[in-house]
Amino acid sequence: MNFIKKKGFYVPVSIIIYFVLLFNLPKIIGALTIASTVALGAYLFKKNERFKKKGIISKVLTIIALLVVFLFCGIGGLIYDPVSVERHELATEKLKQEEQLKEVEELKEKQELALKEEADRKKIEEEKLKAEEEVKKIAEEEEKIKAEEDKKKQEEKSKIQAEEHKRQAVEQAKVEAEKRKATATSKQVAEQSSTYVWLSETGEKYHNISNCGKMNPNRASKVTLEKAKSGGYGPCSKCGPPR
Ligand SMILES: [Zn+2]
C-alpha cells in the first residue's frame, strides 16, 4: 500500500476527484476554490518565509497559476450552470433535428412536386387524347350525316329519274299510239281509196257486187269506198261490202 503515499499516484487522483466534484457541485467547489486560492496566496506572500526568499520569476509564475485556478475553476465553477448547458445542448440537438426534418420535408416537397408535375402531365395528355377522340367522333358523325344526305339526294335523284323515265315512257307510248293510230288511219284511208264498191242508181247503200238484190248492174256505178262513205252511203247488210 506504499504506492498510495507516492506523489505520482495521489496528485493525479486528487486532480481527477477535484474535477469530478467541480462538475457535479460547481457552485460549492467554485466558492471553495476561490477561498482556497485567496488564502493560499495570502499565506505564501505574508507568512511563508521560504517562499518570500524565492526569485521574482517564481513569484510571478505562482501568481499566474493561482489566478488561472481562481478564474477558471473558482469563477468558472460559480458561473457554470449544468441546466443551461444541458438546455443549450438540447437546443443544439433540436436545431439539428429540425434541420434534418426540414431537409426531409424539402425532399418530400420536391418528390410531391415531381409527382404533381407527373400527374399534371398525365392529365394534360389524357385531355389531349379525349379532345382528339371527340374531334374524331364529330368527324365520324359529320361523315355519317353527309353519307345519309348523299343517300337521300341519290334516292331523290333516282326517284326523279324514275319519274322522268316513266313520263318519257308514257310520252313515247302516247306518241307511238298516235303514230299507230295515224298509220292505221292512213292505211284505212289508203285501203278505202284503193277499195272499190258498187252504188245502185237509187239506193242509199253501197255493195260488194253490182247485182245485189234488185240492182240493175248496167246502171250501177263503181266508186272508191272513200267516196261512197263521204257521199253519205252506208254498207249493205246483204252482200257484206268492206267497211
Ligand atoms: Zn248489196
User: Would you state the cell numbers that stand for residue 57, as one nine-digit string?
Assistant: 520569476
Residue with cell 503515499: 5
Quote the percentage of the chain above a pLDDT of 70: 98
Distance 207 CA to ligand 1 centre (A): 4
Element (H, E) at 201: none
pLDDT digits (tens, 9 = 90+) for 135-188: 999 999 999 999 999 999 999 999 999 999 999 999 999 999 998 888 888 877
Ligand 1 centroid to residue 30 C-alpha, Å: 184
Asked if 197 contacts 208 with a C-beta cutoff of 8 angstroms, the reply is yes
- pLDDT score at 236: 93
Q: How far is the CA of 195 from the centre of ligand 1 (A)?
A: 16
The DSSP string of 61-97 is HHHHHHHHIIIIIIIHHHH--HHHHHHHHHHHHHHHH
d(CA 209, ligand 1 centre) in Å: 7
Give how far the C-alpha of residue 152 lies from the chain's centroid of Cα atoms, to the nearest Å.
36
Asked if 212 and 239 touch (Cβ cutoff 8 Å), the reply is yes
Helices (H), the chain: 7-24, 26-46, 49-52, 56-68, 76-79, 82-194, 225-230
Between the alpha carbon of residue 162 and those of residues 50, 53, 156, 159, the distances in Å are 153, 153, 10, 5
- Going from the Cα of 10 to the center of ligand 1, the distance in angstroms, rounded, reads 192
Q: What is the Å distance from ligand 1's center to 61 Cα?
A: 195
Q: What is the per-residue pLDDT for 126? A: 96
Report how far ligand 1's centroid is from the alpha carbon of 190 (Å): 23
pTM of the model: 0.37
- Mean pLDDT (the chain) is 90
- Name the amino acid, one letter, at 38: V
* Low-confidence winner among 76-80, 224-228, 235-239 (lowest mean pLDDT): 76-80
What number is the average pLDDT over the span 75-85?
82
- Residue 203 contacts residue 195 (beta carbons within 8 Å): no
How many other C-beta atoms lie within 10 A of the C-beta of residue 223?
17
Q: Beta 221-224 vs 196-199: how paired, if at all?
A: antiparallel
Of 38-47, 75-84, 208-217, least confident by mean pLDDT is: 75-84
**Res 78: pLDDT:** 86
Model confidence at 1: pLDDT above 80: no
**Cα distances (angstroms) measured from residue 130 to each of 134, 139, 146:** 6, 14, 24
Residues 6+ apart with CB under 8 A from 219: 200, 201
